[in-house]
Chain A
Amino acid sequence: MKTPLHRILAIDDTPANLLALDGLLSNEFDLQFATSGPTGIALALKCPPDLILLDVMMPEIDGFETFKLLAAQPMLKAIPVVFVTALNDFDAEVAGLSLGAADFITKPINATIARQRIRNLIERKREQDALQQALQEKVALLKEVHHRVKNNLQVIASLLRMEGKGSEHSHTQAVLNDMQGRIRAMALLHESIYQNGTFAWVDLASYLKKVATQVFVSLAVSPSLIRLQLQLDELQVSLDQAMPCGMLVSELISNAFKHGFPDGRSGEVCIELRPLEDGAMWQLRVSDNGIGLPDNFESAVQHSLGLQLASSLASQMGGRLDVGPGAAFTVQFKVEPTTLPT
């Protein structure tokens, strides 16, 4: 099967010039003709060409004006336009190129050069279209993946919730609730990524705020008894650091709410994120003014998955979890560069 010829629309007010173009190009291209800008545009809208040859010197609406009209048409603005001018009309050439013309051909037209220029431009346009389409497919794919991630997180959360409600053991229920909390911290990170529109970095302060608020609300902490105090400086971190950081905060404040304030005790849980003096290191601190840590805290850690997780998450962030004085947990960490690996 023969591939169809590329279609070229030639706009020129002088029929003799159009006839000349026909003689030069018609054996390689499918040519259409118009003798004024407006009729050319009407023709192009009906049947979009691959390229437009546009004479500069035309009465009433000249080539430049026609070009502007073409560029204002969403359907036509991507079509490459080649101006045809008299030889050595440098001013016209500059004006046309600065408007965004694809190229220039000077009269008298050299058929070999003109044909090659047109071939190159059409090929470039074809490549551009292919790229554009590939990009659109990737965007659609990314959207689909995002949808599936969140939907699957929802399925997991739903399963845990139903298992929890089905269980008669309070310990099992507590474990399943903790698991939902951890999934929530991960889900919020996904939310943050898509709100930023970038995978390169996450606004850590706003992410931690969401995590903390969610834990607070989901554990049904009474705001009149326990206050959540947030002192978070602005910081952009990579996804690799944000994820452990969010989960760490989720573990530590769940712990504080659950164990720090028994029997209706009141107080506050404080989360602090700030740079250290030299600026290269940052500090995350979660503390509360509840009853304090138990005397056997060291051995209690052995039995608490949450605290063991907290410790590994801190080292995943590139820091170490320090305990004390009092019910305070501190991680100092170096902020990793937030550019995407190539």
Chain B
Amino acid sequence: MTHQKPGDFGQARILIVEDESIIAMDIAMQLRELGHQVVGQASSGEQAINLAQRLRPDLVLMDVQLKGVMDGIDAAQTIRSRFNLPCLFLSAFANDSDSLTRAALAAPVGYLSKPFFDHELRSVMEIAIRQLDQ
């Protein structure tokens, strides 16, 4: 955890990685409503790694299917191993055992399946934040 420890209400500094801008905007709005601070948004794995290094968020909310050379799982693994930062995955593949197995290797603090609705993001975030506090 960085200089800014999550507060009493489990607030965290979050980096959103999602290449669909409308979804990214919606997530940012929801996270702010939950009292979190959105410190940055990235739309590719490479950009996510750069921002994670620079901003040192408490948590990275990562879309698994990113366009480009690197997908969300690759980026999460790098972010985890280089900066020791946890990721929470967001994915539109429900039952794809290949990506689930790979995703597990990045030791995510949560997994959210698209499309998700308000209460799902809220509860997954709560569980993730509780893990950060430990």
Contact = CB atoms under 8 A, between A and B. Distances in A.
B partners with A: yes
Interface of A: 143, 146-148, 150-151, 153-159, 161-162, 165, 180, 183-184, 187, 190-191, 194-195, 197, 214, 217-218, 220
Given A143-B96, A150-B94, A194-B94, A218 B117 contact: yes
B26 A151 contact: no
Interface of B: 20, 22-23, 25-27, 29-30, 33, 65, 92-96, 113-119
A148 B27 CA distance: 18
A191 B113 contact: yes
B20 A154 contact: yes
Nearest to B123: A217
Contact of B93 (A146, A154, A158, A220): A146
A161 B26 contact: yes
B114 to A, nearest CB: 4
Q: Give the interface SS of chain A, mostly helix, strand, loop or mixed.
A: helix
Contact of A183 (B27, B94, B115, B118): B115
Nearest to A177: B118
A154 B33 CA distance: 19
Given A143-B93, A147-B93, A184 B115 contact: yes
B31 to A, nearest CB: 13
Contact of A153 (B26, B27, B29, B114): B114
Contact of A155 (B23, B30, B96): B23
B23 A214 contact: no
8 contacts: A146-B92, A148-B92, A150-B115, A153-B114, A157-B116, A158-B26, A161-B26, A218-B118
Nearest to A180: B117
Given A147-B92, A195-B95, A154 B118 contact: no
B29 A162 contact: yes
Contacts of B116: 154, 157
A183 B33 CA distance: 22
Nearest to A155: B22
B119 A218 contact: yes
A148 B115 CA distance: 11
A197 B96 CA distance: 10
B130 to A, nearest CB: 19
A175 B106 CA distance: 40
Contacts of A190: 94
A153 B115 CA distance: 6
B62 to A, nearest CB: 15
Contacts of B92: 146-148, 150-151, 154
A143 B117 CA distance: 22
A327 to B, nearest CB: 26
B117 A157 contact: yes
Given A155-B23, A158-B22, A191 B117 contact: no
Instruction: Give the 8 A-B CB pairs with smallest separation, nearest first.
Output: A158-B26, A154-B115, A150-B92, A154-B114, A153-B115, A151-B92, A147-B92, A157-B115
Contacts of B30: 161
Contacts of A156: 115
B22 A159 contact: yes
Nearest to A165: B29
A197 B25 CA distance: 32
Contacts of B23: 151, 154-155, 158
Contact of B95 (A154, A162, A194): A194
A197 B26 CA distance: 31
B117 A151 contact: no
A155 B93 contact: no
A147 B20 CA distance: 13
A309 B22 CA distance: 29
Contacts of B22: 155, 158-159
A220 B94 CA distance: 25
B99 to A, nearest CB: 10
A150 B119 contact: no
A146 B20 CA distance: 16
A191 B29 contact: no
A195 B93 contact: no
Nearest to B98: A143
